[in-house]
Chain A
Amino acid sequence: MRWVYVRLILAALTIFTTTNIIFFLIRLMPGNIVDYEINYYVGEMGWTSEEAYEFLSAAYGLTLDKPFHEQYLSFMANIFTGELGRSLRYGQMPVINIVATAIPWTVFTVSISLFASFLLGIVCGIFTAYRHGSKSDKALTVSSIVVDAIPNYVIAYFLLILLASEWDIFPMALAYDVTRVKPGFNLSFVLDVLWHATLPVISYTVSQFAGWALMMRSTTVSVLGEDYVFAAEARGLKGSKIMWKYVGRNAMLPMFTLLAIRIGHIFGGSTLIENVFSYPGMGKYIADSISTRDYPIMQGLFFIIAVSVTLSNLLGDLLYARLDPRVRLK
């Protein structure tokens, strides 16, 4: 159990570091955006310092006219209470509201994709490992390497062009069709959501699963050489049981060490993929905030994404402990 506490502390520290990074970037870095904005509002827009300070303080969740350490403390306190600032462009809408509407969509698509790509990767990995050295293995491995290199937005654009624009099988944008269904637990809404989510999910999954498959393949190949697999065969266990319970479960474990990086990558990829499909998740709002220079939104969402990634990693680690008794019962 001690191990769980260590992980929790690490997670907390990560989030803490992230908030510090944000503060550093928005306040401490020379030529930072807040100073830039102050100059803009006072210099070019003709506001008074007080007006500018008030507006920007609310926007960034700081207290700008106070000394730095007070700014830091007020910033931290605000984040803790969920005050992530206010949009500079959308009439001072609290960032937390935007997060609340966007987060479900991102978490929805990203988690399905993570799950799907992991599973697909495992199956493909085992499949190719068992046929290690054969023609089909070589062909699949080379194609996996190639697919892995293709950026996820490229896949997304191609899917969009082909399946949505050209062949009109899937919708081109958004999470659901506002003109036709009403949100709620009705079947038509759920189906519409799924239909709209298909292309984004496919994009994530295709761009991720090759990496999993290649990793699974190499861990499986080494597990296949282990004594306990040989012993299982000697005991006359059924091939399928050996493949899943003896080989699969052991080969899967090292992949969890990479899970952290991968989860970060998929959440990060959400900015680009949601942009392609105009899918109203966190990534899309970050993408929009770039062109509108709405920095509070960008920061707030970055923070939330960081928290989501950290929590997902924690979950992943807990899952790993569940699966590998050697970690649990040290």
Chain B
Amino acid sequence: MSQASLQRLKNALHEIYAFMTMTKSSIVGVIIVVGYIFIAFVGPYVVPIRLVGTFEPNLPPSLDHLAGTDHLGRDLFGFIVHGAMQVIVLATMTSLITTFLAVTIGTAAGIVGGKANAFLTFCTDVMLTIPGFPLTIVLATMIRGSPNMLLLASVLAIIGWPAQARSIRSQVLSVKNRDFVEASRSVGLGTAYIIFFDILPSLAPYIVISTMRAMINAIYSLVGLSILGALPYDETSWGIIINRAINQGHALLVPAARTALIVPLVAIVILQISVILLSSSFEIMFNPRLRDKTLRSKKKREGQTE
């Protein structure tokens, strides 16, 4: 590697480090998300699952069973660990598909203008008002026969893209008339160039942040649907653990059985919160005004004077 690119790499790493340690919440967010990813991909090789109950049922969390046991005496921690991958992979796929759809349609509407814009906007608006979650339920049950991750992710993406597409469209509309786009156009650079090198890069911060939001929604829908039993399942799906706990473990009536209900809920909440903290950090990083305020208060805390 040449000196220059090495230096650039160092700078990039330094920027990333600065970003991650910017505020307390960003540190927490990063740690937890990385932790979850680690658990999801490495965990299954380390923690075993037993589908048959071999332990005492309804045990609270302890050193032997970090997440307790369910009503059938199965270790919950193993289930959670194995189920994490599903959640993370599906959520990521869904959010990427959502973003892709939203960017494509939003940009097309914004750039093309005229009748096409009106039509696309109309479609988006109609899709927006159709209640997403019930639609997803209907769609998910229809594809229950063929469990295919990509198909499932696409179904989940259906509710997310209209809202995002709308924001992207309005952003494209405002960026379209900015000076640097005008400059590119006057030099004779084609539309494709303008889209990919002028407009999209300036939208990049927003896209990153809304992808994270899409992830949160994806996790919500994913788990929600499996609680209702609308998704093809295996026993490690977090939503199914909840479903089983209530319907078969009678968690609502038997206090001891509550562990199986509470543990997946806590896992979900912690994941959601950390993704949100991460997206807030991105927001701060991308918005120079917020960033200066945060950096200044951080410096103050560390004893440097203004």
Q: Please tell me which one of the listed residues A17, A151, A161, A268 contacts residue B261 in the complex, with CB atoms under 8 A apart.
A: A161
Chain B residues within 8 Å of A160, by CB: 252
Asked if A145 and B276 make an inter-chain contact with CB atoms under 8 angstroms apart, the answer reads: yes
The reply on B258 being an interface residue by CB < 8 A is yes
With A32-B142, A36-B145 given, is the CB distance from A261 to B265 under 8 Å? no
Q: Which residue from A33, A142, A153 sits with its C-beta under 8 Å from B25?
A: A142
| Chain A CB within 8 A of B114 CB | no
Known: A14-B126, A268-B134, A271-B228. Is A166-B272 also a contact (CB below 8 A)? no
Shortest CB–CB separation between residue B74 and chain A, in angstroms? 20
- Structural contact, B228 and A298, CB atoms closer than 8 A: no
Query: How many whole Å from B166's CB to the nearest CB in chain A?
Result: 9
Does the CB pair B128–A264 fall under 8 Å? yes
Chain B interface helix/strand/loop/mixed: helix
For the complex, is A109 an interface residue (Cβ under 8 Å from B)?
A: no
Residue of A nearest to B280 (CB): A145
Residues of chain A from 248 to 295 with CB closer than 8 A to chain B in the complex: 260-261, 264-265, 267-269, 271-272, 275, 286-287, 290-291, 293, 295
The residue in A150, A172, A295 that gathers the most chain B C-beta atoms within 10 A of its C-beta is A150
Task: Flag whether A299 is at the interface (Cβ < 8 A).
Answer: yes
Shortest distance in angstroms between A143's beta carbon and chain B's nearest beta carbon?
11
Closest chain B CB from A18 CB (angstroms) = 6
Which of the residues A157, A271, A310, A313 comes within 8 Å of B265, measured between beta carbons?
A157
Q: Once the chains are docked, how many angstroms separate the CA of A99 from the CA of B275?
A: 38
Cα distance A172–B253 in the bound complex, in angstroms:
10
Q: Do B268 and A165 touch across chains, with their CB atoms under 8 A apart?
A: no
For residue B242, which residues in chain A have a CB less than 8 angstroms away from its CB? Answer: 157
Please report which residues of chain A, range 182-213, place their CB below 8 angstroms from some CB of chain B when the two chains form the complex.
none
What separation, in Å, do the CA atoms of A25 and B144 have in the docked complex? 13
A10-B125, A271-B228, A272-B227 known; A298+B138 contact, CB < 8 A: yes
Contact call A154/B138, Cβ cutoff below 8 A: no
B216 within 8 A of A: yes
Verify if A137 is at the interface (C-beta below 8 Å from B): no
- The answer to whether A165 and B255 have CB atoms under 8 Å apart is yes
Convert B239-258 into 0s and 1s, putting 1 for each residue whose CB lies closer than 8 angstroms to a CB of A.
00010000000001101001
Contact B129 A264 (CB under 8 A): yes
In angstroms, Cα B128 to Cα A313, docked, is 11
Interface residues on chain B, size class: 35 or more
Tally of A-B residue pairs with Cβ under 8 A? 129
Report whether A154 and B268 are in contact in the complex, using a CB–CB cutoff of 8 Å. yes
> Are A272 and B228 interface neighbours, CB within 8 A?
yes
The residues in B between 79 and 128 inclusive whose CB is less than 8 angstroms from any CB of A are 125-126, 128
- Check B295 for interface membership: any CB of A closer than 8 A: no
CA distance A22 to B142 in the complex (A): 11
Determine whether A170 belongs to the interface, using a CB cutoff of 8 Å to chain B: no
B272 is contacted by which of A22, A149, A172 (Cβ under 8 Å)? A149
- B130 contacts A14, CB within 8 Å? yes
- A150, B272: Cβ atoms closer than 8 Å: yes
* Complex interface: chain B residues within 8 A of A310 (CB): 129
A260's nearest neighbour on chain B, judged by CB, is B129
Q: Which of A31, A158, A165 contacts B253 (CB 8 A)?
A: A165
Residues facing B in A225-265 (CB within 8 A) are: 260-261, 264-265
A45 at the binding interface (Cβ < 8 Å): no
Q: Residue A64 at the B interface, CB < 8 A? A: no
For A131-151 the 0/1 string (1 means CB < 8 A from B) is 000000000001001101111
Taking a contact as CB atoms closer than 8 A, the residue among B134, B220, B229 that contacts A305 in the complex is B134
Q: Does B173 contact A (CB under 8 A)?
A: no
Question: Is the CB of B175 closer than 8 A to any CB of chain A?
Answer: no
CB pair A157 B129 closer than 8 Å? no
Asked whether, in the complex, the Cβ of A291 is within 8 Å of the Cβ of B229, the reply is yes
Q: Which residues of B contact A293 (CB under 8 A)?
A: 141
Contacts of B206 in A (CB 8 A): none
Asked if B137 is at the interface of the complex by the 8 Å CB criterion, the answer is: yes
Give the chain A neighbours of B268 by CB distance below 8 A.
Answer: 151, 154
Inter-chain CA distance A22–B242, complex, in Å, is: 30
The answer to whether the Cβ of B55 comes within 8 Å of any Cβ in the partner chain is no
- Does A313 lie within 8 Å of B129, measured CB to CB? yes
Cα of A10 to Cα of B269 in the assembled complex, Å: 38
- Residues A298 and B141 in contact, CB atoms below 8 Å apart: yes
Q: How far is the CA of A178 from the CA of B288 in the complex (A)?
A: 59
Q: Does A306 contact B (CB under 8 A)?
A: yes
B232 at the interface (CB under 8 A from A): no
Does A301 have its Cβ within 8 Å of any Cβ on chain B? yes
B265 adjacent to A29 (CB under 8 Å): no
C-alpha spacing A275/B223, complex, angstroms: 14
B181 in the interface, Cβ–Cβ < 8 Å?
no
Are A268 and B223 within 8 A (Cβ)? no
> Digit string of A151-183 for contact with B (CB within 8 Å is 1, else 0)?
101100110110011100000100000000000
Instruction: Give which listed residue, B126, B142, B277, contacts A33 with CB less than 8 A.
Output: B142
Does A301 lie within 8 Å of B126, measured CB to CB? no
Given contacts A157-B242, A271-B224, 5 further A-B contacts (CB under 8 A): A145-B276, A146-B277, A157-B261, A161-B258, A272-B227
A-B CB proximity, top 7 nearest: A268-B133, A149-B276, A149-B272, A264-B131, A302-B134, A151-B220, A268-B131
Enumerate 14 A-B pairs (CB-CB under 8 Å) in ascending A order: A25-B142, A29-B142, A149-B272, A150-B273, A151-B220, A154-B265, A165-B252, A271-B133, A271-B224, A290-B228, A302-B135, A309-B130, A309-B131, A313-B129
Residues of B in contact with A (beta carbons under 8 Å apart): 25, 125-126, 128-135, 137-139, 141-142, 145-146, 159, 163, 216, 219-220, 223-224, 227-230, 242, 252-253, 255, 258, 261-262, 265, 268-269, 272-273, 275-277, 280
